[in-house]
Chain A
Amino acid sequence: MKNKLALIKYSLLLFLFALISCEKEIQYKGEGKDPVLVLNGINENDSIFRIYLERSYFFLSNESQSDKYIKTGATVTLTNLSSGEIFTMTNSSLDNKYEFPFVTSQNVKFKIEVSHPDYESISAEMTTVPKINLNAVDTSTFESNNGTRKKAVLKWNDPVGKNFYFVKVSVFNPEGAYTNMQYFSCLDPVFEDGGSSIVGESEYPEIYFTDELFDGNEKTLEIDFYSYKTDSIQNAPIYTYSLISMNKETYQYFISVKKASNVGFFTEPVKVFSNINNGFGIFGSMNFSNIVK
């Protein structure tokens, strides 16, 4: 419904402006900014520790993606501040991917520094998040005005201290052998705006929230969504319930990216969060806990 309102808005404004406006190309007359290093690395617990390195580019440039990759020439130094171990890499593993020879584990503090002769050096620090696992997901179905819906109650124990969460549900349809994001509704007061909530369309592909209201306690989160009807048990959809916990910087980063991706003429500009000193990107951590039902 929100999209329809936007459609009305833009069709009316375009109609009006089309009557009187004209468009032309103009020269950019701002100060040119030198490109900076971009480091992206959101490391998941129990996965290979990796980062992606590239450079930023002038926003009106038409360079290809691979031109911006930093494959060689950079010195990437990763320090495990908890153990004092230091890893140094000068070449990427593949394209702009730098993989370190260990698996990410929880509650470890890292510092990363990147130097390159052509760009200003960058650095960042982060601590990997603790593992927070779903205890259970209880599901049931119920009848509503709009048909049969599935209810899922997610349960987990929130550790003491500030924690940041995303919840999402994906659905695998065996019949067509494809996976989709499952839109769902949630009336729990914990989450911030997860998208449109116009009545009748209050369903989101994901929700994100902090533990401000349940810090250190067991949390039960109830969600519900349209339940697919199938002809046979073999074709019944398979749902994956994911609880993703992340550090504060990663949380801020995802929210700002989400806002930035929805920018239009009537939207306030969004500056994407970055914790990289002298550069752009994110050096963060998250933990996935999935239950498949």
Chain B
Amino acid sequence: MKIFLLLLFTTINIITFSQEKRTISGFITNESTGEKLIGATIYDTVSKKGAGTNEYGFFSLTIPAKDAFIRVSYFRLQTKYTLCAKGRNDLNVALEEKVQNLKEITITSEGSKRTVESTNAGTIELQLDKVEKLPLILGEKDVLRVLQLLPGVKSGGEASSGIYVRGGGPDQNLILLDGVPIYNASHLFGFFSVFNSDALSNVTLVKGGFPARYGGRASSVLDMRMKEGNMKNYNVEGNVGIISSRVLVEGPIKKDKTAFSFSARRTYLDLLYRPFLLARKVDGGYFFHDFNTKIHHKINAKNHIFFSGYFGLDKVFVKDKGESSYDSEGNSYTSEFGAKLQWGNSIGAIRWNHIINPKLFLNTTATYSKYNFLIGGEFNEETKYTDGTTVKQNQSITYNSGIKDWGLKTDFTYFPNPNHNIKFGVSDTYHTFEPGITYVNFDDGNQQLDTAVGSKFQYSHEISLYAEDDYKINDRLKINFGLHHAIFLTGGKTYQVLQPRFSGNFMLDENSSIKLGVSRMAQFLHLLSNTGIGLPTDLWVPATKNVKPVLANQISLGYYREFSKQYNFSVEGYYKKMENLIQYEEGADFLAASEDWQEKIVVGQGWMYGGEVFLERKKGRLTGWIGYTLSWSERQFDDLNFGKKFFYRFDRRNDLSVVLTYDINEFWDLGMVFVYGTGNAVTLGSQNYSIAPNSLSNQYYQGVTNFEQLNGYRMPSYHRMDFGANYKKMKKWGHSVISFSVYNLYNRQNAFAIYQGTNTSNNPVLKQIALFPMIPSISWKFKFDFEKIKKNKLEKISNNTENEK
């Protein structure tokens, strides 16, 4: 705590105090929706001082106590100039939408300028416009899939959920939706993410140079904000696709006072093929749905309150009712079998924004997050005897795992002068872990069994304090430095980890800079995974007395350049070392319910290093980027692979993404994505041999397979091309976009898994399972423009009146 106070006071003391100054503050919003803008730039053209809005759209700028001419800008929106007369201290500015034409494409220069000038290395602010033009996948646009196209961020391959950032695992990403952690970000085993991009307003990914306000994960932070709801007008938009549809409704409950936003999405593949299954006397299916909702209430100019929620569920189910059979004595026997697998997240948050004074902003959030995985089945048997008696036997078994969090956090943003932006805060999260419990139920009329077995619930508190300063030392050098102190209380054990953070940007000239990031991150939660591919079966478990938290130390250095005002180029190298990684021991299976998970794991360390190159064209008809990553990711566990280092399953030597969009005319645009990645590292045998003959046991296999080393074999490389075209048309009622897309254009059979099987001659061969072939799709996106409808209606009435006259 002393260190925090020292940091805070040191920072404040070095701030130059001047009597001839004033502080202007307020919110920057979108004129048409009333939505607050994150990262908008406010610049006084007289004093040459500037500031940006924080993650809640608030800014504070201290300038000389004279008249100021303020420029407010934000990508995609029209830059606005406004006079801020001497003596005025509040400034709320609403920016209008840009009138788009062919020469002005959606990605603006402000956005790119910030990349070169921003302090934090390895931070990407995803402009959601980019998502719009990329090929859709089965009619769905997906932010996680777009992030996977950026250097340093990888997908795990087919059916692999989540993102793998700089050699880290899928559990090492802090995924925040409105400040609430999401524990499983995938639908359909990773084909889609749980984020309905219609409901999002801002997406930021931090993969290095972490600001001190973030903590709890070792590899990255993905901070997403949901739309706050349109304060001005009602908006209804949606998308109808081949396998799913979604809709977003937003608008004012009370104009300029209270707004809501609600979105929903569901797949209906199950409804389409279920009749075919039923014809085969089998019932089954798969679906997912999710709902996002948010209410924003402006109490007064200084107080805003937000309620947000998300609920999502994936479910696979099979039911089979056997036909009655009869024995020789005429007794009939009937059986039923049903099984289901489901997983989902539920989150909720209440947030209060308060302007304490023009220089001090407060955000307090209460959060709830739950992730649950369930697999289970029922077996029912009924025997009817000829004497009229009936004997029933019902059995059910359910395996359940999950995690539940309650959290409270308070964040302050203090703007002492334009050269400092200080953030500090405190939070506490109460975790409840349910790491794998099996419930068994049996009833045959005579005997009943109703019991549960498995790992016990575990509870822990995760408390964190932080302070950071974004400090502009001079026109060429900016740094962000701070401390994050985390305290984890679990099962009588307390861990305290002090995590220093630093990142700096040195401008070499107006268009190029060098960025350095150094950080230490602690992660108190582990994800136990059998496959490593982020299946919902994976278990979230806490650090315990025996299992220490993951510690990650990272250093990154990058060169950033903007040239010809339309290209961004960057090259960045990183080195990361992780300690206390956990993995299942040899032969462990997540379903071995009797055992405590701590008895099934081994603890080790990891090294990740590599380089990332990014080249982006952001203006013109043809836009897009090329991202390339060369990387290594290694692990070492004393009790695995004879203690020798081995490659992480998602070690990917080469990873390339090419993304292009092209505007043909005002109606048509095209999008193309090509990805290539070295195949995943898997364990495959090399030699077989016989088991020792012995008189002890006769149930062992006759032969075993020896593998040279863990993850010593490479799956075939992964590559794929997607293509899409959008046809846009303005209608009387609003906007219409018809999207045609093809996933996996040249039908590459990318391996999901490889295994030893047999061919038609019964000889052993190597086989692969590929999941997704070429998938064409068409979808229709609509957006009602109620202002336009109203205007058309009025015009029609007016015309009719004139005609009648």
Decide yes or no whether A225 CB sits under 8 A from chain B.
Answer: no
Q: Name the one of B379, B587, B710 contacting A262, with C-beta atoms under 8 angstroms.
A: B587
B407 to chain A, nearest CB (A): 32
Binds A, one of B40-48, B363-371, B692-700: B692-700
Q: Is B763 an interface residue (CB 8 A)?
A: yes
* Interface, chain B (partner A; CB < 8 A): 189, 273, 284, 286, 316-318, 339-341, 375-377, 379, 395, 397, 399, 438, 440, 442, 447, 449, 451, 453, 530-531, 537, 583-595, 641-642, 683-701, 704-708, 710, 712-714, 716, 749, 751-754, 756-757, 759, 763-773
When C-beta atoms are compared, the residue in chain A nearest to B755 turns out to be A265
Is there contact, CB below 8 Å, between A266 and B530?
yes
Interface residues of A in 25-66 (CB under 8 A from B): 25-30, 33, 35-36, 38, 40-42, 44, 52, 54-62, 65
With A15-B318, A55-B689, A256-B586 already in contact, 18 other A-B pairs whose C-beta atoms are closer than 8 Å: A1-B397, A5-B438, A5-B591, A9-B375, A21-B770, A26-B768, A27-B766, A29-B714, A30-B713, A38-B689, A44-B695, A59-B688, A206-B696, A254-B697, A266-B590, A268-B588, A271-B706, A280-B689
Residue of B nearest to A253 (CB): B692
Best-buried of B377, B531, B583, B590 by chain A (most CB within 10 Å) = B377
**Is A267 an interface residue when CB atoms closer than 8 A count as contact?**
yes
Q: Which 10 A-B pairs have the closest CB atoms?
A: A259-B587, A40-B692, A197-B594, A56-B687, A8-B377, A59-B685, A8-B339, A56-B689, A38-B689, A266-B530
Query: Which A residues touch B706, using CB under 8 A?
Result: 56, 271-272, 280
Give the distance in Å from the alpha carbon of A206 to the alpha carbon of B317 in the complex: 36
Which of B395, B642, B696 sits near A286, CB closer than 8 Å? B696
Interface members, chain A 79-95 (any B CB < 8 Å) = none
Q: Does A20 contact B (CB under 8 A)?
A: yes
Question: Could you tell me the distance between the alpha carbons of A26 and B767 in the complex, rounded to whole angstroms?
Answer: 5
Cβ of A25 and Cβ of B765 under 8 Å apart?
yes
Residues of B within 8 A of A268 (CB): 530, 583-589
Q: Is A259's CB under 8 angstroms from B586's CB?
A: yes
Task: Give every chain A residue within 8 A of B705 (Cβ-Cβ).
Answer: 59, 260
Q: Which B residues are in CB contact (< 8 Å) with A19? A: 273, 286
Residues of A contacting B586 in the complex (Cβ-Cβ under 8 angstroms): 256, 259, 268-271
Listed A/B pairs (25) with beta-carbon separation below 8 Å: A2-B593, A4-B397, A8-B376, A9-B375, A12-B318, A12-B341, A21-B771, A23-B767, A23-B768, A26-B716, A33-B686, A54-B689, A57-B688, A59-B685, A60-B756, A60-B764, A168-B696, A181-B698, A199-B440, A257-B691, A260-B705, A267-B588, A271-B586, A281-B692, A286-B694
B737 to nearest A CB, angstroms?
27
Contact (Cβ within 8 A) A196 B708: no
Give CA–CA (A204, B665) in the complex, Å: 72
A278 interfacial contact with B, CB 8 Å: no
Q: Count of A-B contacts with CB under 8 A?
A: 236
Chain B: which residue is nearest A25 at the CB level? B765
List A177-204 residues whose CB lies under 8 Å from chain B: 181, 193, 196-200, 202
Docked pose: A254 CA to B460 CA in angstroms: 39
- Scoring B340, B397, B706, B773 by chain A CB atoms within 10 A of each residue's CB, the highest score goes to B706
Residue from the list A2, A16, A25, A205 in contact with B316, Cβ < 8 A: A16
A20 and B769 CA atoms in complex are apart in Å by 10
Residues of B within 8 A of A65 (CB): 690
The answer to whether A267 and B530 have CB atoms under 8 Å apart is yes
Q: Give complex CA distance A19, B284 in Å.
A: 11
Closest A residue to B340 using CB positions: A12
Cα A13 to Cα B377 in complex, Å, equals 13
Cβ–Cβ < 8 Å partners of A140 in chain B: none
Quick one: closest A residue to B585, CB to CB? A268
Indicate which residue in B284, B318, B453, B752 contacts A21 across the interface (CB closer than 8 Å): B752
Residues of the B chain whose Cβ atoms lie less than 8 Å from the Cβ of A122: none
| A contact residues around B683 at 8 Å (CB) | 269
> For A145, what are the chain B residues with a Cβ–Cβ distance below 8 Å?
447
Chain A residue with Cβ nearest B715: A26
Q: Which residues of B contact A260 (CB under 8 A)?
A: 587, 701, 704-705
Cβ of B375 and Cβ of A12 under 8 Å apart?
Answer: yes
With A33-B708, A267-B530, A269-B586 as given contacts, are A59 and B686 in contact (CB-CB < 8 Å)? yes
For residue A62, which residue of chain B has the nearest CB? B763
- Please give me the residue from chain B that is nearest to A170 by CB atom: B698
Interfacial chain B residues near A206, Cβ < 8 Å: 696-697
Which of B584, B587, B757 is the one whose CB lies under 8 Å from A263?
A: B587
A6 at the interface (CB under 8 A from B): yes
Give bound CA distance, A196 to B699, whole Å.
16
Known: A198-B438, A199-B440, A199-B451. A280 touches B771 (CB 8 A): no
| Contact partners of B689 in chain A: CB under 8 A | 38, 54-57, 68, 280-281
Task: For the complex formed, measure the closest distance between the CB of B280 and the CB atoms of chain A, giving whole angstroms.
Answer: 12
